[in-house]
Amino acid sequence: MRRVAPVICFALVIALYWAIDHDAAGIMSHLPANAYSYTRLSAGTAVWFAAAWVMAAILSELLQLLARRRGMDKLPSLLSSVGAIVIFFCAGLAVVSLVFGYSLGGLLATSGVLAAIIGLSLQKTIANISAGVTLNIEQTIKLGDWVETSAGTIGKVIEITWRTTHLETIDGHLIVIPNSTLIDGSFTNFNAPQRPMRFTNTIFIDYSLPTERVSRILEAALKASNGVLQQPPPFVRVYNCVGSGVGYNLYYWAADYPENFRITSEVLSNALKFLDQVGITPVYPKQDITLFEPSLRQINPKFDIGGILRRILFFAAFEADALLQIERGCQLREFRPDAIVVREGDAGTSLFVVITGVLEVSKQIPGAPNRHLGRIMPGDLFGEMSLLTGAARSATVTASSHATVVEIDKQLIEPILATHPESITALSQFVAERAAANVNTLANSPEEKQEITRMGAAAFLRKKIASFFGRAQTTKDAPSSKRPIGPRSPG
């Protein structure tokens, strides 16, 4: 109704003017001459202003259409208001000239003097209005943009009026800035020329760590953080070298300014978590006075595989000697981004522990694209079913970033389990708890599924592990002891 009201009004006014001009009802002939003249002038004036109303409504709709094409929710009302004023001003001039028959020359001269007087008295207000018009025409800022003023105020533009620009801060506060103040000073538009914003955080690491290794760990933290845009891709650069260590800058893009706070928290949390997983801690300002030859700071540049394995629950049952045996016999493997670590359906007898990097897990679905199952982070392990039971790989694991993993083969674990067959109980319980949500991970046939239902997952796995390692089922009645696996302690 709001859109058609100007058209209806214009049609009614035109009809009224025609009726008066042609005396359709025969009423005007009975009125005094002056009354007829005034009525006709009033009707003519109404026609011009009704037409101006229609033109202003059309201009408003065109501006809104332009705003939608530019991806804006709405256009500042100032443009519509200025356009409407110009249209009604022109309609007023037409009324004076065409309806009342006055010359526009003298009127414009008089209005020029009046405009000069008003301009001097309202100089500041006019400057704000002019600045507001300039902001809307140049489109240096738009509604919804996040800007920072020269005074350091940061807020989202929610309205540009005749005199002021309204900013809403991240805390929900309203800040009103005169348009002239905003346009006279410098300001930063965080959302121009493109909406996504780049952010940077710096972490300092000790000089003893290889920069390539640290950069890969921090890149994996960026890839694992939800909300970090993958295009443009995030990256890590060595920023500076100071007395306390090497500065690494983490560069990443977020969709908009408010997302920065949550994403930054997750990026830094993942960075600290991934660094801690390999025994690295950020440095802090310090000063050393050494009177003797100092020992190596932090950790050995080589990976402390034993320390990494001790943090994982799967290896908590192994004593120091058994863990040392695994540490000496395992293989350290490097994978580039998009490299396949294991492929679904392939045979395997090894387990993997992720030291650095992020890996993606996917599964083949017949007649459909591969299904993404999740991510494997530093400190996670996978492939335990293949190690303990010889089962085929149940999913495909692909490196999302540069990744370093430890591979532990059946031949390495077999002597330990041969010496301590009761350890099979502890391992079967661990694997059963990990795979409890999916019976298909444990069983390859309907018969095995029925056996799991009858025996229980842990007992079924205990039997399967014992069979795979060529052990008799002597662990059936063994207690579910959590005693570490390895040589027995004296006494």
| Beta carbons of 248 and 282 less than 8 angstroms apart | no
CATH 2.60.120.10 residue ranges for the chain: 305-468
Secondary structure of residue 135 in the 3-state scheme: helix
Strand ordering across the sheet containing 197-205: 197-205, 246-254, 235-241
Provide the pLDDT for residue 7. Answer: 73
Instruction: Please write the tens of the pLDDT for every residue from 434-480.
Output: 665 454 555 555 666 556 566 665 566 566 666 666 654 444 444 44
Distance CA 188, CA 148 (A): 5
Q: Kindly indicate the confidence band of residue 487, based on its pLDDT and cuts at 50, 70 and 90.
A: very low
- Across 346-371, average pLDDT: 88
Report whether pLDDT(17) > 60: yes
Q: CA dihedral defined by 63, 64, 65, 69, rounded to 10 degrees?
A: 100
Q: Give burial (CB, 10 Å; 0-12/13-18/19+) of 449.
A: middle
Distance CA 131, CA 82 (A): 13
Pairing of strands 396-399, 359-365: antiparallel
Phi, psi dihedrals of residue 217, rounded to the nearest 5°: -65, -45
- Of 137-141, 285-289, 294-298, 342-346, least confident by mean pLDDT is 294-298
- Across 23-38, average pLDDT: 60
Q: Give burial (CB, 10 Å; 0-12/13-18/19+) of 218.
A: buried
Q: How much of the chain is helix, strand and coil, in % rounded to 5?
A: 45, 20, 35
Distance CA 100, CA 140 (A): 43
Provide the pLDDT for residue 51. Answer: 81
More confident residue, 1 or 234: 234
Distance CA 251, CA 236 (A): 6
- Residue listed under structure tokens 């059936």: 476
Number of neighbours of residue 225 by Cβ within 10 angstroms: 21
Which among 395, 384, 403, 376 has a CA at the least distance from the CA of 213? Answer: 403
Q: Kindly indicate the confidence band of residue 152, based on its pLDDT and cuts at 50, 70 and 90.
A: confident
The type of residue at 196 is P
37: CB partners within 8 A, 6+ apart = none
Task: Kindly report each contact of residues 190-196 with a partner whose C-beta sits within 8 Å and lies 24 or more positions away, as own/partner.
Answer: 190/145, 190/146, 190/147, 190/148, 190/257, 191/144, 191/145, 191/146, 191/256, 191/257, 192/140, 192/141, 192/145, 195/255, 195/256, 196/229, 196/232, 196/253, 196/254, 196/255, 196/256
Dihedral of alpha carbons 169, 173, 178, 181, sign: negative
CATH 3.30.70.100 residue ranges for the chain: 197-277
Instruction: Calculate what percentage of the chain has a pLDDT beyond 70.
Output: 66
More confident residue, 435 or 241: 241
According to the CATH classification, is domain 197-277 in 3.30.70.100?
A: yes
CATH topology for 141-189 is SH3 type barrels. (2.30.30)
Across 70-153, the runs of DSSP E, i.e. the strands, are 146-148
- Residue listed under structure tokens 């494997």: 376
Distance CA 386, CA 347 (A): 8
- Across 231-250, average pLDDT: 91
Q: Is the pTM of this model over 0.75?
A: no
Provide the pLDDT for residue 217. Answer: 93
CATH 2.30.30.60 residue ranges for the chain: 141-189
Report whether pLDDT(241) > 60: yes
Instruction: Please write the tens of the pLDDT for every residue from 72-90.
Output: 555 556 566 667 777 877 7
- Across 36-50, average pLDDT: 74
Distance CA 472, CA 91 (A): 103
More confident residue, 482 or 252: 252
CATH for 305-468, among 3.30.930.10, 2.60.40.10, 2.60.120.10, 3.50.50.60?
Answer: 2.60.120.10
- Across 234-242, average pLDDT: 91
- Residue listed under structure tokens 């501006």: 63
Which among 363, 362, 349, 353 has a CA at the least distance from the CA of 403? Answer: 353
Tokens of 163: 């005199």
